[in-house]
Amino acid sequence: MACILQMDFQMDGPFGNDMLEAFSDLAKSINEEEGFLWKIWTENREANEAGGIYLFESKDSAQNYLMMHTKRLREFGIESVNGKIFEVNEGLTQITNGPIK
């Protein structure tokens, strides 16, 4: 069953086009993660927050990514990482045009 991973954390930047330039290689590497389907990148410049909404093929792949990415963010100096995993109700999501396979 597909699962959504919701992550957010405090970050002083970069944002916008500067974020695009700084994290393009990271974005490309995420495409290679096991079970990864897509990510929507999120940012709130005013609150110094960033994160993303991810779709994974399974709960296991979402949990593995959450553990790996939390560790990576802590290595970048980001201490507090919020991560939640939700199972996708595919029937209702299809009715509301959600981007799932």
Cross-strand pairs, 53 = 6, 40
> What SS3 state is found at 6?
strand
**Has residue 100 been placed in a domain?**
no
pLDDT tens-digit readout, 19-71: 999 999 999 999 999 999 999 999 999 999 999 999 999 999 999 999 999 99
What CATH number should be reported for the domain holding residue 80?
Answer: 3.30.70.100
Work out how many domains the chain is built from and give that number. Answer: 1
In the prediction, which pLDDT does 101 show? 65
Q: What is the side-by-side order of every strand in the sheet holding 36-44?
A: 36-44, 49-56, 3-10, 81-87
Of 100 and 24, the structure prediction assigns the larger pLDDT to: 24
- Read off the tokens for 54: 């991810």
Which residue range forms the structural domain that includes residue 30? Answer: 3-95
